[in-house]
A and B are shown apart, each in its own frame.
Chain A
Amino acid sequence: MTSNTSTQNEWPLWEVFVRNKAGLDHKHCGSLHAADAKMALQMARDVYTRRQEGTSIWVVLSSQIVASDPGEKGMYFDPMEDKVYRHPTFYELPESLNHM
């Protein structure tokens, strides 16, 4: 038990986000155990990017992430399809606007 606790302390879990060369945003691609942030970055590079140049990697301690509560799904994510007045669908976007 003691050793388990110390393993968890010494090798905490990190979440890995990668933006590939042409990608617009960092996408969550997995997690790994590493002793510190620098090691986590190096390992993420080996495991998740195969060293494609031009890739950006973010690593963040899993304990730093706060997630929404599935129990509050109804309140948080109530589909608003029946509330047309809430959707900005009445505007025509200029063609020069991408990625909306």
Chain B
Amino acid sequence: MTASIQVGASPQVQYLLRLGDSCLVLAQRISEWCGHAPILEEDLALSNMALDLLGQARGLLTHAAKLDGQGHDEDQLAFLRDERQYLNPVLMELPRGDFAYTQLRNFAVATWLLLLWQRLQTSSDAELAAIAGKAVKEAAYHQQHAADWVVRLGDGTQESAARMQAALASLWPYFNELFDSDAVDAAAAEQGLGPAWSELKPAWQAQMAEVLADAGLACPKDSPYQSQGRRGIHSEHMGHMLATMQYLQRAYPGGRW
């Protein structure tokens, strides 16, 4: 069995991995809907979005691996890092839940990603700016698609509204982590690599509030809970997800495909 790899601690690499891992892990979770969505057309839409996110993750991980300078590539970063080396917020790794839960999470993440990509287009890192230029269009579509579903379900039947409200209550505490600030963010902002995520909070809240109001959903009270996925401290779901995702590469180390 190939040993797990470690990535460097440079703020630049960590900043890229937090974003790249977010895209990769959410892509994995959305992919779990394949063949299970409520209707065929939505099945395609979800797969489509998972593919977009995976494409974004590939660009970011490839770039992070290059900056890390240990000779790794995107596959090794994806398949040979263990849980503590993954830097996505816990929000992304939570199990897919029901359709309301998935659409609400997609909406929250797409809104956040869209704000981030818009700013990253002017990153001091030309490669990152190019990835953002491509991703920003995808995120805009993801946001619109998910927002429509949030409104449709929130303002739908009694059952769908109750499910959407339950999804909101369940996901709410995990949104905090998206806007937490620390040294990695501060360094990225200072170098002009990208914004500190905390800067995105007011715009994110405004866009969320607008759609939630359209959907007739009440925002829960702010939670003091602070998840720590960006520092490698994950929920109990992460290990299981990685075991599934990494199985083949771990069983046949170095296999080419």
Which residues of A come within 8 Å of B, CB atoms? 11, 32-35, 38-39, 42-43, 46-47, 51
Contact = CB atoms under 8 A, between A and B. Distances in A.
A72 to B, nearest CB: 35
Nearest to B49: A46
Contact of B148 (A32, A39, A47, A51): A39
A39 B147 CA distance: 12
B164 to A, nearest CB: 16
Interface size class of B (residues with CB under 8 A): 10 to 19
A41 to B, nearest CB: 11
B48 interface: yes
B39 A11 contact: yes
Interface string B25-60: 000000000000001111011001000000000000
Given A33-B39, A47-B41, A42 B145 contact: yes
A50 B116 CA distance: 24
Interface centre among A32, A38, A42, A46 (most CB of B within 10 A): A46
25 contacts: A11-B39, A32-B41, A33-B39, A33-B40, A33-B41, A34-B41, A35-B152, A38-B148, A39-B41, A39-B148, A42-B45, A42-B144, A42-B145, A42-B148, A43-B41, A43-B42, A43-B44, A43-B45, A46-B41, A46-B44, A46-B45, A46-B48, A47-B41, A47-B44, A51-B141
A51 B40 CA distance: 18
Nearest to B156: A35
Interface in B125-156: 141, 144-145, 148, 152
Interface string B212-238: 000000000000000000000000000
Nearest to A43: B41
Interface of B: 39-42, 44-45, 48, 141, 144-145, 148, 152
Contacts of B42: 43
A32 B148 CA distance: 18
Nearest to B42: A43
B87 to A, nearest CB: 29
B126 to A, nearest CB: 23
A96 B42 CA distance: 47
Contacts of B45: 42-43, 46
Contacts of B144: 42
Given A32-B41, A39-B41, A46-B41, 5 more contacts: A11-B39, A33-B41, A42-B145, A46-B44, A46-B48
Pairs A-B, 4 closest by C-beta atoms? A43-B41, A46-B48, A46-B45, A46-B44
Contacts of A34: 41
Contacts of A32: 41
A34 B42 CA distance: 9
The CB with the most chain A CB atoms within 10 A, among B40, B41, B145, B148, is that of B41
A35 B157 CA distance: 14
A47 B148 CA distance: 18
B122 to A, nearest CB: 22
Contacts of B40: 33
B45 to A, nearest CB: 5
